Chains A and B, each alone.
Chain A
Amino acid sequence: MSSSTSNSKAVNGKILLAMILVMGGAVLLMRLLYLAMGADANNIMGRVVEAREALPQIVKEPDDLMIFFGSSMVEAGFSPRQFDRELRAKDKTVKSFNFGFGGLNPYFQDYLSRRIRDEFLHNQRRIKLVVIEFNPFQTTTTRWQGANDIVDSFLTMLASDAELWDIAQKDPERGALLFNIKYLRNDISAEMFSSYIGRQIFPQPQPIKIEEPKELIELRSKAGQQLTERFEQDYPNYTDADWYYPWQGGGTIPEERSPETLEWFKKYYSTFQNSANKENARQRRIASADIEGLHFEPLLVDSFINIVNNFQEVADHVEVVIMPRQVGLINYSEAAQTRLNKVVAEIENATGVSIINQQELPQFTADMYRDATHFTRYHGDVEYTRLTVETFAHYFEP
């Protein structure tokens, strides 16, 4: 070997080492920063992670299983323990779970539903009934564009390695990026981080902000404080989980609370019943989700169809519902209604499931909502869970 070749090898070796050390040092510092900030999947989508971790336990449940899958409207509106209790009163033994998650549009829900499907297939267990919420405003182009900065991060948190590998085979550049985010960046993409920093420097202005009456805000604060203290007294063993197994992914139920606490709840939710709060919430939904225009994103519609197909593989019965809408506050334009009808027909054709439209049921009054879309606890959710029992009890045998 000539001396120039050995010299060049030495320099090349140093170059290679420098590449590894510089990149390695930068990655290490980045991971330390994320650690200090608590930026990880558990903190970003804790409820989803906890629900996914509960799957091995769920598949071992001896009773018939029911899963209600959907958005934060399901999270707020469906009480699994009330559902089970009311069915028990009809001599039907069921274990239901709330799989409603805020911040997940159907693209992400598709990946989560695959993880649920995989767990059930792996354990050769079936679900008696899966109810899936089709949420029109979660399926809009506006909603999809709003998720631009989190797509890669959420994908790496939810997709399996095999799914990422499939992406890599079709698009090596994107595949390499996703594996990089998953294994080097602790699931945090640069886009997610910079949009987080950007929001700190430049908070997104609200579309409009109507001031609520001062006395209502004060009462809300006082009632909120009362409810927090009472919660800590009533549930000393609560583990601070976002998806709490003993509650089957749902929330607390009125039967466990004292009359005084229920009175505070009433007071608390009464403070939301003013036109300023409702209009602010409506405007936020228009800006962030096109809730009245409903310009659908084809990718999200396809993803929703995938969700239904995924559950059809492991469930005896799959139903799709469109949950109640606060009629009077949220009003579709004629064109929006036409678009919705078209998408509903598309989903029904692709899945063979008839969508149950609960949007305009008269029993759901404005006082059952705490904002533009979510039910109040112990009132709206109770009524909606009752409706769910009435609608689907026939699937369960005594």
Chain B
Amino acid sequence: MIFNTPLFFLFFAVFFLCYGFVFLRHKPRVYLIITGSLIFYGAWNYHFIPLLVGSAVADYFIAQAIGTSQDPRHKKRLVTLSIIINLGVLALFKYADFALESVASLLNWAGYPVAMTTLSWVLPVGISFYTFQSLSYTIDVYRGDMKPRKGLAEFVAALSFFPQLVAGPILRARQILPQMHALNWPSWLEAKHAFLLITVGLIKKTGADLLAVPAEAAFAAPETLSTLEVWTGVIAFAGQIYGDFSGYTDMAIGLALLLGFKIPLNFRVPYFAISPVDFWRRWHISLSSWLRDYLYISLGGNRTGHRTRNVLITMLLGGLWHGAAWTFVAWGAFHGVIITATHYLGQLAYFRNFNQSTSRLIKFFKWAITFYLVLISWVLFRAENLSDAMTVFLDMHRFSESATLNIQAIVLFGIVCVWILLTHVMDHFVIKKGESLTQQPWLLWPLLVLGQLLCLLIGEPSNEFIYFQF
């Protein structure tokens, strides 16, 4: 069940009727959230519901035990157990086949051919999101950043909360658990803001589905396209993944807000970034801050003199989090390298001046370089394998004579670029002026109706969300 479908609309309408009008006491509302979330999750594959609930129950009791234990070594053993359970489940479902295939390839390459049987298990939807979310709870309790909270049902409801269950944002326990305990109702102003976010999310998602067409063409057969068409495809993919993922999280934030839950922003106009570091402060903020707090800082962060190593490990694992393939590892490594390079250049006197310059021209230059690097990284992310990524990369940088340039290609390039710019301008406006817009009903409601109309009118058949696979 995905947000931009009639079935989800029906589901949410029924859920909202029950939540807002029938089950008004605390306990029934918590159980309703659990029931609704499990129905939502089970619509994909109900076989994985025990895994989700099991993770929640295990981490709930581990956190309770950490909280009551006075022995630091016992606490450490408990948090290690939580890490093993969560990462073990993730490794088994997501990375086992990748590891087996990689070992087999390595042995074949070394002259010891082996026939390795893979598990070929179905990847549970959203597993990377909810395991990280659950893990953050036990680590926070272990670190003393929060006390374990009583109420298993509230914890299960928080972990399985359907608006953000399958594609984030990755919420920390300290963000969601107090809200699950309080179960506040939204104000009318918040509700209007929620409608705005849902509509903006839908528009971005609808645009993303259309951008998938030129992106698919470029990555399927780049050799048949002109250089401009390959660039169009790569930029279209940048727009697709942004619209797809940020659109989803906008809808998730909006839906949660309609139920009274406040979820922080996950994207902050990322393609306006003017350095790779800046990009990661704007892109998938909940993941980058999770990796920073629970991995980068655990490795020592900036303090130990191993910043480069720590950045590279964090970004490599961040890449691997996205998928079990060498392309994702390369994508993470590439970001690790460009972040490290940015740090290094920032230490040089000349570049320090360059970095601190307020000149618009220099800012534009920094933006252009950053956007180019991000585009290159998306080639690694989108390609089926590293060899395909190299083909697309080379086709972007040499004049192709295999296809003639035509007016349609130029128009398409223009449309793709303008759409990405428009979505960013729209997001910027919602972040900066969203609240004041909600106070102008004569503008808000017509805009919402027109936004919904646009999404009703246009669409593409392949409307899965990219980030569900992670």
Contacts and interface: CB of A to CB of B under 8 A. Distances in A.
A202 B214 CA distance: 12
Contact of A172 (B43, B258, B453): B43
B43 A190 contact: no
A298 to B, nearest CB: 19
Contacts of B43: 172-173
B185 interface: yes
A19 interface: yes
Contacts of A185: 456
Contacts of B46: none
A7 to B, nearest CB: 7
A117 to B, nearest CB: 29
A176 B20 CA distance: 24
A396 B24 CA distance: 73
B7 A16 contact: no
B334 interface: no
A22 B7 contact: no
A342 interface: no
A193 B1 contact: no
A12 B195 contact: no
Nearest to B412: A202
A218 interface: no
B9 interface: yes
Number of contact residues on A: which range applies? Answer: 35 or more
B458 A14 contact: no
Contacts of A189: 459
Contacts of B111: none
B411 interface: yes
Contacts of A5: 24
Contacts of B258: 15
Given A26-B452, A173-B5, A33 B17 contact: no
Could you tell me the dominant secondary structure of chain B's interface residues? helix
Interface string B455-467: 1111111000000
Instruction: Pick from A149, A152, A194 the residue with the most CB of B within 10 Å.
Output: A194
A101 to B, nearest CB: 23
Contacts of A173: 1-2, 5, 7, 43
Interface in B1-58: 1-2, 5-7, 9-10, 13, 16-17, 20-21, 24, 43
A148 interface: yes
B457 A14 contact: no
A251 B191 CA distance: 60
A217 interface: no
Interface in B201-245: 210
Contacts of A151: 461
B185 A7 contact: yes
B461 A23 contact: no
A22 B196 CA distance: 11
Interface in A317-365: none
B21 A12 contact: yes
Interface in B384-428: 408, 411-412
A207 interface: no
B461 A11 contact: no
B456 A26 contact: yes
Top 7 closest pairs, chain A to chain B, by CB: A190-B459, A12-B20, A26-B452, A8-B185, A176-B7, A180-B6, A194-B458
Interface of B: 1-2, 5-7, 9-10, 13, 16-17, 20-21, 24, 43, 185-188, 191-192, 195, 199, 210, 258, 408, 411-412, 445, 448-450, 452-453, 455-461
26 contacts: A8-B24, A12-B16, A14-B191, A15-B186, A16-B20, A21-B445, A22-B448, A22-B452, A23-B452, A25-B453, A29-B453, A33-B457, A172-B7, A173-B2, A173-B43, A175-B7, A176-B6, A177-B5, A179-B6, A180-B6, A185-B456, A189-B459, A191-B460, A193-B458, A193-B459, A202-B408
